[in-house]
Amino acid sequence: MTNLATPIYLDANATEPMRPEARDAVIAALDLVGNPSSVHAFGRAARHALENARAVIAGGFGRDADQCVFVSGGTEANALALHTYGAGRRILIGATEHDAIRKAVAGAEILPVLPNGALDCTVLRQKLADGPPALVCVMAANNETGVISPLEDIRAICREFGALLHVDAVQSAGRINPTLDGCSIALSGHKMGGPKGAGALLLPDAQPIDAFMPGGGQERGRRGGTQALPAISGMAAAFAAARQQDWSEVDSLRRDIDKAVMQLGARVAGFGSERLPNTSNIILDGVGAQIQLMTLDLAGFAVSAGSACSSGKVAASHVLTAMGECDGATQALRVSLPWNVEKHHVDGFIAAYGQMVARLRKT
Ligand code: PLP
């Protein structure tokens, strides 16, 4: 079996490697001594950098800068959206949402997905037609399968029934550009190639919102706490670079993986659906994810189980379960290509995967 001296990183949906533009922006911001809330020259310089970052992020989604609230990451952005727009409303969430949504709200109604991973819009329509005002939470693209949500349809249905729509765009931002007008949007810097510890909530309008952490009134009273300027500057630089990237090369390498593993008898979850350019969720029937993960790790490839991994045990993926996979929900690997993936990394992975399948078949 291939055994590479330097492991190859194919786990970008967990966190993207830092982009050079982001590193430069972080380092420049580290030298800004001031607190962005201070009125003196040092504070004003920090504030200037903060507002530049805000303009980049908000502008990328066609929003005004004052519609962007900086937070600590995707989890907090989603929690702030639920706190802000869920109050007094019935909350509907997609069955394949990330735990940042699933665990942030008790008593939410679950919207099923189709076997291809896309939200079942017929059920969404029925549920909205039947009930009181709602907040609908849907991710733009799934972190485990890369399946892209039919957001045009979802937005139209929400508009028809006066429901608010919150979109978790943590995995899609910079990689694809769906139209998200009128929605609140959660973002995370480290999924774009920025540092960990920064995120943003984009608001659908400039209406004041209640902070759940008022603190010192930063972010116009919408999120207290001194802003993590280096991480925020890095996030903005990463976002700008990600949007400029031509993702077709990554997409073509991901298709090479799909083709190769299917020839070996594996299945790709959500195959045939529109997916992120970098994500393949590969189910090897009859083989637990843990053994696959360990085998590929030993061969020098860092991928992840398609499902949550805790205390060395792979739990069944709620995403694959919602797509109708029973056994497959514990037999999947997620390969998520980083922005800087190279062809020989993918060729090496395909070879190692083939060797793993051949060896497991013999046993
Ligand atoms: N939403 C999605 C779809 C994610 O994939 C993740 C992280 O994996 C999050 C939210 C949470 O983001 P963060 O790690 O920045 O809190």
How far apart CA 222 and CA 81 sit, in angstroms, is: 11
Average pLDDT over residues 212-237: 96
Q: Is the CB of 97 under 6 A from ligand 1?
A: no
Name the nearest CA neighbour of 76 among 108, 46, 98.
98
pLDDT tens for residues 61-101?
999 999 999 999 999 999 999 999 999 999 999 999 999 99
Q: Whose CA is nearest to atom 10 of ligand 1?
A: 74
What's the chain look like in SS3? CCCCCCCEECECCCCCCCCHHHHHHHHHHHCCCCCCCCCCHHHHHHHHHHHHHHHHHHHHCCCCHHHEEEECCHHHHHHHHHHHHCCCCEEEEECCCCHHHHCCCCCCEEECECCCCCECHHHHHHHHHHCCCEEEEEECECCCCCEECCHHHHHHHHHHCCCEEEEECCCCECCECCCCCCCEEEEEHHHCCCCCCCEEEECCCCCCCCCCCCCCCHHHHCCCCCCCHHHHHHHHHHHHHHHHCCCHHHHHHHHHHHHHHHHCCCEECCCCCCECCCEEEEECCCCCHHHHHHHHHHCCEECEECCCEECCEECCCHHHHHCCCCHHHHCEEEEECCCCCCHHHHHHHHHHHHHHHHHHHHC
pLDDT tens for residues 152-166?
999 999 999 999 999
273 C-alpha vs ligand 1 centroid, how far in Å?
22
Q: Which residues are catalytic?
A: 309
Establish how many alpha carbons lie within 13 A of residue 70's alpha carbon, considering only the half-sphere containing its beta carbon.
29
Whether residue 360 has pLDDT greater than 90: no
Average pLDDT over residues 191-201: 98
pLDDT at 130: 86
Q: Is the CB of 170 under 6 A from ligand 1?
A: yes
Any idea which of 15-19, 23-27, 156-160, 324-328 has the lowest mean pLDDT? 324-328
Pocket test for ligand 1, best of 188, 317, 319 (most atoms within 8 A of CB): 188
Of residues 208 and 2, more confidence is placed in 208
Pocket test for ligand 1, best of 191, 239, 275, 318 (most atoms within 8 A of CB): 191
How far apart CA 243 and CA 33 sit, in angstroms, is: 30
How far apart CA 50 and CA 227 sit, in angstroms, is: 8
φ, ψ of residue 263 in degrees (nearest 5) = -65, -25
Q: What is the amino acid identity at position 186?
A: A
Pocket test for ligand 1, best of 170, 172, 239, 307 (most atoms within 8 A of CB): 170
φ, ψ of residue 159 in degrees (nearest 5) = -65, -45
14 C-alpha vs ligand 1 centroid, how far in Å?
8
Average pLDDT, rounded, for the chain: 95
Whether residue 128 has pLDDT greater than 90: yes
Which ligand 1 atom is at minimum distance from the Cα of 191? 15
Name the nearest CA neighbour of 98 among 324, 330, 309, 317.
317
Q: Is the CB of 143 under 6 A from ligand 1?
A: yes
Q: Is the CB of 146 under 6 A from ligand 1?
A: no
- At 206, the pLDDT band (50, 70, 90 cuts) reads confident
pLDDT tens for residues 298-348?
999 999 996 555 555 678 999 999 999 998 999 999 999 999 999 999 999
46 C-alpha vs ligand 1 centroid, how far in Å?
27
Q: What angle is formed at CA 337 by the lines to CA 353 and CA 140, rounded to 5 degrees?
A: 125
101 C-alpha vs ligand 1 centroid, how far in Å?
9
Q: Is the CB of 98 under 6 A from ligand 1?
A: yes
Establish how many alpha carbons lie within 13 A of residue 302's alpha carbon, considering only the half-sphere containing its beta carbon.
16
pLDDT tens for residues 132-189?
999 999 999 999 999 999 999 999 999 999 999 999 999 999 999 998 999 999 999 9
How far apart CA 248 and CA 253 sit, in angstroms, is: 9
How far apart CA 37 and CA 91 sit, in angstroms, is: 35
pLDDT tens for residues 276-298?
999 999 999 999 999 999 999 99
pLDDT tens for residues 247-276?
999 999 999 999 999 999 999 999 999 999
Q: Whose CA is nearest to atom 5 of ligand 1?
A: 143
How far apart CA 265 and CA 249 sit, in angstroms, is: 25
Whether residue 5 has pLDDT greater than 90: no
Domains of the chain, earliest start first = 8-17+246-360 (3.90.1150.10), 20-244 (3.40.640.10)
pLDDT tens for residues 94-126?
999 999 999 998 899 999 999 999 999 999 999
Q: Is the CB of 168 under 6 A from ligand 1?
A: yes
Q: Is the CB of 348 under 6 A from ligand 1?
A: no
Q: Whose CA is nearest to atom 12 of ligand 1?
A: 74
Whether residue 41 has pLDDT greater than 60: yes
- At 361, the pLDDT band (50, 70, 90 cuts) reads confident
Which ligand 1 atom is at minimum distance from the Cα of 76? 16
Handedness of CA 317, 322, 326, 332 (dihedral sign): negative
Average pLDDT over residues 212-228: 94
pLDDT at 311: 53
